[in-house]
Chain A
């Protein structure tokens, strides 16, 4: 299994634990990730709000144009990058007028994209290309008894609704949690928005959203939560103390990338999984599975 890998800007900074754990888990499962050379920022939905969707999608397409030389499926981890690249790719494949115009813009930099690639979210690749059975077989420390909230967030499943999971009640992440031996909890807000990039401009929105989501997760009995999204992880983890301070709650729910939890079940070292980057400490919740500080 060989993929062109688009890491995205967050995985180089705030979500460095996602990159570390993804690479470790991929190696354990025999997935080869080849980083797209000289990739650029996808622009996310933020660039769309400045220069419009077309320019943002052309920006994203530069990465696909570079990756097309190899012809491998493009694997994306970050939800926002996935939305940008997957929606752009679909427009290249289905909208002739768009493809012609976008290629006219790419030509200004000596590039062209023919729309021949597939853009894949890492959760979907794990479920469909690797398969839950193979993941289950790789587990050396089953997370028996651990109650986990699978926080999918918004853009991963709503970038292209029904492309690989239910946009309202996603199931892939819960199935993965089960494959690791843990128990997914009842979690009605698992696909609700965390407030995303409002974190800097208007943090009170993030604080309120995270309070609701944390409350939904913990009322289901969760001991920790996992997510495939760098923004969700950051807001729920980094802002959790602010939620407690501003709204008088006392949440202490560790928020991990789902790849970190996979690594724990695979018996990989906490250092390789970047557990030290978690702000709400995960060590107590994971102590029965041989994970220590």
Chain B
């Protein structure tokens, strides 16, 4: 019965990363996954992902922090909610992806263009309470730098056609009146989220 022999190099699980994820708002759902793969066949962008959601969840449980955090999987998720609607275990997979994105941004894993887009969008929200799409675009390209700005020239036809059809206002909306209070609300929400939400 050689199959029962102990491996000469047993794999050591590092529990610290999985615990870190389980402490996120929807993170503990990762423990519930039964690896059935319904999320994979449901996913709109799985072909562009480094790892499928099913695999990513197993990697979290195995403590593979760098592989998970440096993967593009959560950034490819479009929050279309197909997996969330279908998961037989009721795991809000989309919400777990939100947690992973948020954690990646906090810890500086921001090499993907989506991370720059998300941050640009949030700066718009915190800036005037409403999102100005032109502002998000400008902030995005500023974050991404010259390489992406050059790529953007390949997209100029799209911008021009939107401009021509009156779909790209050049002036941002006014800042909402309750902006000061909104910032206080967001600040308090962030503080509570660190401590109590789960």
Binding site for B on A (CB under 8 A): 9-10, 12-17, 38-41, 43-56, 58-59, 62, 83, 98, 101-102, 104-111, 154-155, 158-159, 161, 167-168, 192-193, 195-198, 200-203, 205, 209, 234, 238-239, 241-242, 276-279
Assess A209 versus B155: contact at CB under 8 Å? Given A16-B167, A101-B196. no
Contact assessment for A193 and B44 in the assembled complex, using a CB-CB cutoff below 8 Å: yes
Indicate if B186 sits at the interface (CB-CB under 8 A): yes
Find out whether the CB atom of A51 lies under 8 angstroms from the CB atom of B44.
no
Select which of B26, B80, B113, B117 is within 8 A of A155 by beta carbon: B80
Known: A59-B125, A105-B192. A50 touches B185 (CB 8 A): no
Q: Which residues of chain A come closer than 8 Å to B168, judged between CB atoms?
A: 13-14
B37 at the A/B interface (Cβ < 8 Å)?
no
Q: Pick from A38, A55, A110 the residue with the most CB of B within 10 Å.
A: A55
Which of B81, B130, B162, B173 sits near A238, CB closer than 8 Å?
Answer: B162
Name the A residues within 8 Å of B186 (CB-CB).
Answer: 51, 55, 58-59, 105
A197 contact set on B, CB distance < 8 A: 78, 117, 121
Q: Please tell me which one of the listed residues A9, A101, A110 contacts residue B192 in the complex, with CB atoms under 8 A apart.
A: A101
Which B residue sits closest to A12, measured CB to CB?
B173
Nearest CB to that of B102 among chain A residues?
A52
Cα A127 to Cα B133 in complex, Å, equals: 31
Known: A54-B197, A104-B192. A196 touches B80 (CB 8 A): yes
Contacting pair B189 A54 (CB below 8 A): yes
Q: Which residues of A contact B114 (CB under 8 A)?
A: 198, 201-202
Query: Do residues A14 and B167 form an inter-chain contact, with CB atoms below 8 A?
Result: yes
Q: Mark B167-191, 1 if CB is under 8 A from A, else 0.
A: 1110001001110011011111110
Docked complex Cα distance between A75 and B53 (Å): 34
23 A–B contacts, CB within 8 A, in A order = A38-B176, A40-B130, A45-B79, A48-B101, A49-B118, A53-B25, A53-B26, A54-B25, A56-B98, A58-B186, A58-B189, A83-B81, A104-B192, A109-B185, A158-B85, A168-B85, A193-B80, A196-B79, A198-B76, A205-B48, A241-B161, A242-B155, A276-B165
User: Which residue of A40, A159, A205, A276 is within 8 Å of B182 (Cβ)?
Assistant: A40
- Name the B residues within 8 Å of A277 (CB-CB): 165-167
- Select which of B95, B124, B161, B197 is within 8 A of A101 by beta carbon: B197
**Which residues of chain B are near A46, meaning CB under 8 Å?**
117-118, 121-122
The total of chain B residues at the interface (CB under 8 A) is: 71
B178 close to A109 (CB less than 8 A):
yes
Closest to A110 in B: B181
CB <8 Å contact, A105 and B177:
no
Q: Which residues of B contact A55 (CB under 8 A)?
A: 186, 189-190, 193
On chain B, the residues within 8 Å of A241 by CB distance are 157-158, 161
Kindly list chain B residues whose C-beta atoms are within 8 Å of the C-beta of A278. 165
Residues in A neighbouring B78, C-beta threshold 8 A: 154, 193, 195-198, 205
Q: CA A16 – CA B173 in complex, angstroms?
A: 13
Complex: chain A residue closest to B151, CB-CB? A203
B101 touches A239 (CB 8 A): no
State whether A41 touches B102 (Cβ < 8 A).
no
